[in-house]
Structure 1
Amino acid sequence: MGTQLSLESLFAELQSEDEAATKATSALVFDVDAAESQIREQTRNINYLVNQYTVAELVRRFESSVIEQAQGEEGGEFYVPYYQREFVWPPAHQSEYIETLLIGLPVPPLLLAQDEKPISADEGRVEIIDGSQRVRTLHRFLRGKLVLTGLTRLSALNGAAFGSLHPSRQRKFERINIRVYELPDTVSEDDRMDVFRRVNTSSLTLSSAEVRRGAFRGAFYEGLRRLSKDSLVQEMIPVGEQKGKRQELEELLLRFFAYSDAYQNFKKKVAPFLSEFIRTHQDQFPDEYRDRLLAVLTFVKTYFPNGFRKGGAHRTVPRVRFEAIAVGAALALKEQPNLIPVDVLTWLESDRFTSLTTSDGSNSAPRLRNRIEFVRDALLMPKNGA
């Protein structure tokens, strides 16, 4: 038999728990008036619109932007802004979303925002803040570019495309309604970016680089984006197709500038350090940044047999290795702009350098400083010994 408690014992236990909770709460220093004042100060009265679009209508409005972008033009009604991540959902994830709609389960609403432009330039376009992967999945499915795979509830549809469905089912699918929240063009740019950041940090589905790309739009990130397209940058810093879609190259460039400017200020966590760096540089991207990076890439290409890679057979560049070589070289070139290194492989293949660039504890402040300064000092030594 299970243990039986009397009502008196139960009430005593509950009272004890309440008292413990009260003590824990009272230990916190809390000014209720200050809190209420802050809530009122920060509250935004945003009258967003609630709409419903059929799948067919969503795809039609989105497709116009796809066509114009393919022609090198900026247009279309519903569009994915440049700061959004690339289309990265794998076929199985796309298929599951289609299956969810087919069996009638609820799906999250889309979040859109009307373009904020002067009357003379207003084209009535709408930016997709949250839901670009879903909209692009619908577009691919209706246009026959998605073959369903990995379905569990509708396993009979595995291997089927939209055109394979019964004609009546195709029409029913096109009539499915998707709820949409639409921010009016009166919402400020800051509030839009705050919405984007909060939506995409609460779900933990975007990488830190993708969240920063949307949350800190400005001259700095635009400069990173342009640099990431440079032929020398792409040659010297290969990241692979999938990581490239997740803005890995922009992440590496950001780390280069942040660490080469202020690695000594790095304390514990990478993400807040990088975000703070962008916040203070958001509206500027000096030509010196581009010159600094390209000088380092040219230097590494000239004197390092495998560039930033571990060896000729390696196709991508590990973050810690890139940080060490790129930032260390930048610091060395700052001291000796005409530096010509000797015997680079002697220290590059040493046990010490290998130990400093392993992933274990790689983001601690001491290890970051040690690996950067190791490369700097090795390059500046007369015989490049270490």
Structure 2
Amino acid sequence: MTLREQIDNAKRSVSTDELAISIGEIGSMYEAKELHILPEFQRLFRWGPQKKSDFIESLLVGIPIPPAFAYEREDATWELIDGLQRISTVLEFQGLLRDPDNPDKLCDPTTLVGAKYLPGLDGVGWVHGGADGKGIGKELQLFIRRARIDFQILKYPSDATTKFDLFQRLNRGGAYANAQEVRTCAMVLANEEATRKIREIAKSEPFRTVFRVNEDQSKIQKDVEYAVRLLAHASKAYEGKLDVEEFLDKAIIELLQEDNWNAFLDDAVWSVETLHAIDGDKVLLPPKNIEFKTVERFALRSLEVIAVGVLINASAIKALPKPEEFVRERITKFWMQTSALEGMSGAGQRGTTRWGKTLPFGMDWFDPRSAK
């Protein structure tokens, strides 16, 4: 295929539109649920009072604002995939933003603080700013409502891979704290229902216990990252060509596009619940009495050998007379494999190098047909 043919094919897979939409229209679309902003999958309040006030100042002064990005869903509504902080800031300031924890309730309207060019914004609200604050006034309300934000729209239909690629390019190096936050939003674009179930698995008590996830880790989606690692490794073979993040991105999106994703996630639930029943938050930790010198803490090595090994072999293990006893015995014997453990550890060892040792070992070790 020539370069020109490649360009033509790529253009056919991407259909976009560009619109300048007033903040008043944005508010109306949001209230009518014609614009969805994904707060369930993103951290809604990343900006503090100062950044929110700086953005309102930009609208009032006329400082250029980067475009927002949305994709058109099958029902013709829009899903916001870039610009969450900007859009949520103007909605919250007007008192229109729904509480992400209680959609029937509205968030309290923002009270601004002084900004660089407009120090007089300090204490100002849409109607009034707290007990001693003041409203921005009808004239400036209209000015803000008539201000426009450029929107880039990815038109329906566009395949999940295209949406995923565009989203990653938009957000690489942007406002997201880590790769998993970008990945989660891209997963929503590929399959929202499956992503919701993965998130439920990651937030479940058995999962959080087995993988020793604390509240601070949960806030940055470490629990979801562990779930993605488990699912990606158990569903797709690593062929050595991609780095860690590239493989996780590619593998999880491919899984979400398969017809059997629901059954696979059910196996993942069974695997995690089985591990939880065996030894709770210690099931992935090395015992204190093993000869191999290692710190008694959760490590990705344990996820890759034990959790992934159990999930890959879930169907065969469930067919055994006593599945839980089999898994318990294999975990106990695994920690006695000193030479194998030494090869899976070591300071400075790349994740992809470790995968070449942990993943094949776990797949074979928990296979009832090859277990000794």
TM-score surpassing 0.5? Answer: yes
Aligned length: 325
Does the aligned pair in 1 maintain the 2:305–2:362 contact within 8 Å? Answer: yes
Tell me the residue number matched to 2:329.
Answer: 341
Shift of the alpha carbon at 1:256?
Answer: 0.8
Shift of the alpha carbon at 1:105?
Answer: 0.7
Tell me the residue number matched to 1:133.
Answer: 85
Alignment partner of 1:50: what SS?
Answer: strand
Match of 1:326 among 287, 307, 325: 307
Aligned counterparts of 1:148 and 1:254: Cα–Cα separation in 2: 39
Does the aligned pair in 2 maintain the 1:85–1:245 contact within 8 Å? Answer: no
- Calculate the aligned-residue CA RMSD, in Å: 4.6
Residue 257 (str. 1) matches residue 214 (str. 2): no
Tell me the residue number matched to 2:104.
Answer: none
Amino acid at match of 1:363: G
* % identity of equivalent residues: 19
Structure 2 counterparts to residues 1-386 of structure 1, below 5 A: 34-44=2-12, 46=15, 48=17, 50-53=19-22, 55-64=23-32, 76-81=33-38, 85-91=42-48, 92-117=50-75, 125-143=77-95, 144-148=108-112, 151-154=115-118, 157=121, 161-162=125-126, 163-164=128-129, 165-168=134-137, 170-171=140-141, 174-181=144-151, 183=153, 187-190=156-159, 194-195=162-163, 197-204=165-172, 205=174, 206=176, 207=179, 208-217=182-191, 220-221=194-195, 223-228=197-202, 230-237=204-211, 239-240=213-214, 244=218, 247-262=221-236, 265-281=239-255, 282-284=257-259, 285-303=261-279, 306-308=282-284, 319=300, 322-330=303-311, 337=323, 338-339=325-326, 340-341=328-329, 347=335, 356=344, 360-365=348-353, 367-371=354-358
Tell me the residue number matched to 2:101.
Answer: none
Does the aligned pair in 1 maintain the 2:305–2:358 contact within 8 Å? Answer: yes
Aligned counterparts of 1:146 and 1:358: Cα–Cα separation in 2: 50
Distance change (3 Å), C-alpha of 1:289 and 1:129: closer
Aligned counterparts of 1:211 and 1:343: Cα–Cα separation in 2: 35
How far does the alpha carbon of each residue in 1:112-165 deviate from its partner, in whole angstroms, 9 at most, with x for none?
A: 444434xxxxxx633324323321121222224434469555456456544335
Distance change (3 Å), C-alpha of 1:178 and 1:172: same
Tell me the residue number matched to 2:102.
Answer: none
Distance change (3 Å), C-alpha of 1:322 and 1:174: same
Alignment partner of 2:351: what SS?
Answer: coil
Alignment partner of 1:180: what SS?
Answer: strand
Aligned counterparts of 2:347 and 2:52: Cα–Cα separation in 1: 33
Does the aligned pair in 2 maintain the 1:320–1:359 contact within 8 Å? Answer: no
Does the aligned pair in 1 maintain the 2:238–2:247 contact within 8 Å? Answer: no
Distance change (3 Å), C-alpha of 1:304 and 1:84: closer
Distance change (3 Å), C-alpha of 1:299 and 1:323: same
Of the two, which has the highest radius of gyration?
1
Does the aligned pair in 2 maintain the 1:194–1:215 contact within 8 Å? Answer: no
How far does the alpha carbon of each residue in 1:295-337 deviate from its partner, in whole angstroms, 9 at most, with x for none?
A: 34432442255355799xxxx9665554454225546876783
Q: Any stretches of 5+ residues in structure 1 without a counterpart?
A: 1-32, 65-75, 118-123, 381-386
Shift of the alpha carbon at 1:106?
Answer: 0.8
Does the aligned pair in 2 maintain the 1:300–1:308 contact within 8 Å? Answer: no
How far does the alpha carbon of each residue in 1:57-102 deviate from its partner, in whole angstroms, 9 at most, with x for none?
A: 42343134xxxxxxxxxxx222225885341523154344333324
Distance change (3 Å), C-alpha of 1:195 and 1:330: closer
Does the aligned pair in 2 maintain the 1:193–1:214 contact within 8 Å? Answer: no
Alignment partner of 2:20: what SS?
Answer: strand
Aligned counterparts of 2:215 and 2:331: Cα–Cα separation in 1: 33
Distance change (3 Å), C-alpha of 1:153 and 1:160: same
Amino acid at match of 1:327: V
Q: Which moved more, 1:102-111 or 1:216-225?
A: 216-225
Alignment partner of 1:298: what SS?
Answer: helix
Aligned counterparts of 1:351 and 1:99: Cα–Cα separation in 2: 62
Alignment partner of 1:276: what SS?
Answer: helix
TM-score with structure 2 setting the length: 0.66
Amino acid at match of 1:283: E
Does the aligned pair in 2 maintain the 1:130–1:196 contact within 8 Å? Answer: no
Aligned counterparts of 2:157 and 2:305: Cα–Cα separation in 1: 40
Aligned counterparts of 2:282 and 2:55: Cα–Cα separation in 1: 43
Tell me the residue number matched to 1:8.
Answer: none
